[in-house]
Amino acid sequence: MLDFKLSAFADEASSKLSEQINAMQKHDISLLEIRGVDGENISKITLAKAREIKNQLKDAGIQVWSLGSPYGKIGIDDDFQPHLDQFKHGLELAYELETKHIRLFSFYKSKDKQPEEYRDEVMRRLEQFVAAAKGSNIILCHENEKGIYGDVAKRCVEIHETFPEIKAVFDPANFVQCKQDTKAAWNMLSKYVEYMHIKDALESGKVVPAGHGIGNLPFLLSQYKGTVLSLEPHLTVFKGLSELEENENRTVIPEYQYRSAGEAFDTAVDALKMLISKD
């Protein structure tokens, strides 16, 4: 049996913090990758709200593993200074929430240019993130999100070689969606990985429970030397179900679609626990 600590984007179970806590306690998950709280993105909350959240989580025995922030999720041609100011606020939030990790990205691609044409601007912006975080003891973690500069392993390596301070969040499903083989990506990036997102996908790009796609989750888990796995379910909730239900008859739900956010979250957790319980 593989021994890991589980974290989760519990806003995928519910937008309400109280219900997120319930979903995590149901599955004995004690680490939260905090992203949405009571309908508000974590990057938008005040420090006073962060203190309230921290106290509520502490009472429930839950710690914040990472700020699941949107920093770096703007276009490479968009004005950067306001975004940098938001990032500096994020550093204060991380301190208040007592987490040492901030998840970030490397900017959406330009529609008019090839990646190598704006590489220098990506690095200039990331350098300012690094400079702002210097001395904070916060670990910046770059996620390989589809559509950004660092969406494939080759360009992720460029980022980590340029900025050793920036570690990797390895997301298998995102690589699948970019037609990047996850085993090849792992071989290129494993030495930079701070933690993994648990998300799998089919060849079509559709996100499915861990182990049901082509993301090579069993292989990745066998190779991963870290301790924390962060669930980011991204599973599809069946739309319009209430309109189709009649009396007590149950509608047949298409494969890999779920009746509610809570059911989708439960399925994602159970799939991961099944994988890590195997020898």
Per-residue confidence in pLDDT tens, the chain, 279 aa? 468 999 999 999 999 999 999 999 999 999 999 999 999 999 999 999 999 999 999 999 999 999 999 999 999 999 999 999 999 999 999 999 999 999 999 999 988 899 999 999 999 999 999 999 999 999 999 999 999 999 999 999 999 999 999 999 999 999 999 999 999 999 999 999 999 999 999 999 999 999 999 999 999 999 999 999 999 999 988 765 444 444 445 556 678 889 899 999 999 999 999 999 875
CA distance 109 to 259: 35
The reported pLDDT for the residue numbered 246 is: 46
The reported pLDDT for the residue numbered 240 is: 58
Boundaries of every domain in the chain: 5-277
The reported pLDDT for the residue numbered 253 is: 65
CA distance 5 to 21: 17
Per the CB < 8 A criterion, the answer to whether 145 and 151 are in contact is yes
β-sheet bridge partners, residue 167 = 141
Amino acid in position 90: G
Two tokens, residue 34? 């905090």
Which listed CATH number (3.20.20.150, 3.30.70.1450, 3.30.390.30, 3.30.390.50) goes with 5-277? Answer: 3.20.20.150
pTM for the predicted model, two decimal places: 0.93
Q: What pairing do the DSSP bridges indicate for beta strands 166-170 and 193-198?
A: parallel
β-sheet bridge partners, residue 40 = 37
β-sheet bridge partners, residue 37 = 40
Two tokens, residue 78? 């968009």
Sign, CA dihedral 149-173-57-237, equals positive
CA distance 192 to 187: 10
Per the CB < 8 A criterion, the answer to whether 32 and 61 are in contact is no
Of 1, 3, 22, residue with least CA distance to 11: 22
CA distance 154 to 235: 28
Residue positions counted in the chain: 279
Amino acid in position 73: K
Per the CB < 8 A criterion, the answer to whether 67 and 102 are in contact is yes
Radius of gyration of the chain (CA): 19
